[in-house]
Amino acid sequence: MSTIEIIVLLPLLAALAVGLGSPARLTALGASVGVLLLSLGTALRFSPDLEGAYQFTSSRTLLEIAGFPRLSLAFGLDGMSLVLLLLSAIVLVAAVLVAPKEKAIKGSPRFYYLSLLLIAGGAIGAFCSTDLFFFYAFHELALIPTFLMIGFFGNGENRVRTAWTITLFLGIGSLILLIGLLLAVFATGTTTFDIPSLIALAKTPGNAMSEGTQSWVFLLLLIGFGVLVSLFPFHSWAAPAYAEAPTPVAMLHAGVLKKFGLYGLIRLALPLAPAGAEKWLNLLLLLLIGNILYIGLVTIAQKKLDRMLGYSSVMHMGYIFLGIAAGNHIGLSGAVLLMFAHGISIALLFALCGWIREQFGTVDFNKLGGLAKSLPELGLLFGFGVFASLGLPGFANFAGEIAIFFGAFAGESEAMTWIRWATVGALWGVVISAVYLLRAYRHIFFGPLPKKLAVPADLTWSMRIPLLLLAATLLAVGFAPELLNQYIRPAINGLLLVSAG
């Protein structure tokens, strides 16, 4: 069994073990640490010199019927999927450490930890799969426990309604995505679900899809993946879901699983249907501006920290879409780097939001204040999360955002094209982000301490460890982006070479 197979199966087998009676928290923690160590070891053995090539590949044929695509459990990593594997592993460890002890869970602790492992295992399986069927199936596996966790363990009186809402939204999005993927497979006239083979066939002159077919394929994939990523105007499910989800679920979904749609657009939509991407470019620009400016203004209007973070996550997807729209080396590399950075920073902020809710019983800005003096460690780490989300230099988010902006403005022409105008609009999002994030920081940590607010002790080591893991990752990649760019750049170069035929 290959290392990648072990990494994918470890959280799934741990979930099975928890369901059969093993200690829930201890098993989940052991599996998550194992995934992180194996992922770091894989990164150290990964060779960036093999431009765009999958490494550590494995394939097991499960079903082969004449006239139908062969079904294989196949895994492999290129630089882009490796970075997202590292993101998944880091956030999984932090989410398990942040999760409450078994005795504090109202309901079944086994189901709680089993669900966390399935969410993470599904995301990891999707990022590592090189078979289109399992790429899709692993993501669907991760969605089911997400719905159930919000309904059973969520916050607020509307958690059941919220669970049904996201089930409807993401179910429809997944169905549209499935139609687009099947259309792409049948349009190439192939009998394989192997992703590298599909991309190569799509660019072969004799098997290339017509421009009309590419247009439909890209539009379906854009809508399907867009719903999963909360692309405007398919965004309304996201903020309530993150606000009412248990803290570890919000960390895993907003930080990791949400990146599946962005990864899919880069991995599949651009190389399979480049003519369709060019045709729908202006539509994508219009929608991403809706994410950044409209959702940014909605975020300013929020009065609770959890809702503000939920809408902030939706807003920041617009920057990554801008990198995808740029379609060049620097823009796409910046998009992948920002996917990693956003995943870490939003996981950090949701973890802190959950601690504040647990200790004070509220995340309403009007009921909090003056915590900086009594809880300096909380204030420092929350400040790190805020500054990272703002794109402050020294944090990983800055490196990703600046690459996206440069990529969107790249080109020899001096004319103001549509994508350059969209970039000018997106830059105003930085100002909007500063308004709502710094206002939230001021409301919570400065000003007078409310008289009825009982201030607890500062962060314990059980909380410091996951928070420091996330904060240290943001700083390490922020000061040395080449830690990840050495993997991302060859993968994007190989992808663009394939896209160019």
User: pLDDT tens digits for 252-295?
Assistant: 999 999 999 999 999 998 888 888 888 898 999 999 999 999 99
* Confidence check: pLDDT of 477 > 90: yes
Spatial distance between the Cα atoms of 421 and 325, rounded to a whole number of angstroms = 13
Question: Sign of the CA dihedral 301, 303, 305, 306?
Answer: negative
Pick from 348, 345, 330, 470: nearest CA to 400: 330
Classify each residue of 373-410 as buried b or exposed e, where b means 16 or more C-beta atoms within 10 Å of its C-beta.
eebeebbebbbbbbbbbbbeeebbbbbbbbbbbebbbe
Spatial distance between the Cα atoms of 350 and 94, rounded to a whole number of angstroms = 11
DSSP string, 153-185: H-SSTTHHHHHHHHHHHHHHHHHHHHHHHHHHH
Give 194's strand partners.
Answer: 131
* Confidence check: pLDDT of 499 > 50: no
The pLDDT > 70 percentage for the chain reads: 96
Q: What's the rounded mean pLDDT across residues 197-208?
A: 73
Q: What's the rounded mean pLDDT across residues 105-114?
A: 89
* Confidence check: pLDDT of 235 > 90: no
Residue 33 Ramachandran class (φ > 0 left, ψ -120 to 50 alpha, else beta): alpha
- Is there a cis peptide before residue 233, judged by omega within 30 degrees of 0? yes
Write the pLDDT tens digit of every residue in 147-190: 889 888 888 778 888 888 888 888 999 999 999 998 888 887 77
Spatial distance between the Cα atoms of 393 and 397, rounded to a whole number of angstroms = 8
489: tokens are: 């750049």
| Number of neighbouring beta carbons within 10 Å of residue 68 | 10
Compute CA distances 155 → 57, 111, 325, 357, whole Å.
41, 17, 36, 10
* Confidence check: pLDDT of 53 > 90: no
More confident of the two residues 369 and 380: 380
Given a contact cutoff of 8 angstroms between Cβ atoms, the answer to whether 96 and 18 are in contact is no
* Confidence check: pLDDT of 206 > 80: no
Write out the residue range of the structural domain in which residue 162 sits.
3-499
Given a contact cutoff of 8 angstroms between Cβ atoms, the answer to whether 308 and 302 are in contact is yes
Question: Sign of the CA dihedral 367, 379, 342, 467?
Answer: negative
Given a contact cutoff of 8 angstroms between Cβ atoms, the answer to whether 483 and 44 are in contact is no
pTM (2 d.p.): 0.92
Spatial distance between the Cα atoms of 383 and 306, rounded to a whole number of angstroms = 16
Which amino acid is it at 33? Answer: V
Quick one: pLDDT at residue 350?
Answer: 94
Q: What are phi and psi of 378, to 5 degrees?
A: -60, -45
Q: What's the rounded mean pLDDT across residues 37-59?
A: 85
Q: What's the rounded mean pLDDT across residues 476-489?
A: 92
Supply the DSSP symbol for 408.
Answer: H
* Confidence check: pLDDT of 207 > 70: no
User: How does residue 403 score in pLDDT terms, banded at 50, 70 and 90?
Assistant: very high
Spatial distance between the Cα atoms of 142 and 253, rounded to a whole number of angstroms = 9
Spatial distance between the Cα atoms of 210 and 187, rounded to a whole number of angstroms = 9
Give 58's strand partners.
Answer: 75
Quick one: pLDDT at residue 501?
Answer: 30
Q: How many domains does the chain have?
A: 1
More confident of the two residues 120 and 198: 120
Spatial distance between the Cα atoms of 232 and 425, rounded to a whole number of angstroms = 15
* Confidence check: pLDDT of 498 > 50: no
Given a contact cutoff of 8 angstroms between Cβ atoms, the answer to whether 266 and 335 are in contact is yes
Pick from 430, 473, 433: nearest CA to 343: 473
Q: Over the chain, what is the mean pLDDT? A: 88
